[in-house]
Amino acid sequence: MPSVVVIGASADRRKFGNKAVRAFLHRGYRVIPVNPRETEVEGLRAYPSVLDVPGDVDVASLYVPVKVGRTIIGDLARKGIREVWLNPGADSPELVEEVRALGLTPVVTCSIRRIGELPEAY
């Protein structure tokens, strides 16, 4: 199963950054929470930066404001993550273009729905 970093993962079960972690786990993904303010999310170690995550990662799913996304997309490219899912509120036409300019593939989507789950189920 693919690995996914959830950028903006949260310990708060009401937030989409937490719902996504649970949805990806339910679908069998290897889930890596990334948030500099969390140490653990849903029993998983959280990393302050994607650059701190050991090993390769297939997909990044962003649950952060566009302004934050713009500051970290370079790290995603350095980590070698080729596909970036920009969730509602984390996307903008400018960010999509910046992701493309780095040679990454932007996917504007609700990642929870993309993997066949419903956000309201979490």
Rounded CA-CA distance 63/119 in Å is 13
Q: Which pLDDT tens digit goes with each residue over 43-87?
A: 999 999 999 999 999 999 999 999 999 999 999 999 999 999 999
Verdict on whether the full-model pTM lies above 0.75? yes
- Structure tokens that stand for 28 in this block: 């069998």
Q: How confident is the model at residue 1 (pLDDT cuts 50, 70, 90)?
A: confident
Architecture of domain 3-121: 3-Layer(aba) Sandwich (3.40)
- Which tokens is 119 given? 């956000």
Which residues are paired to 119 by β-bridges? none
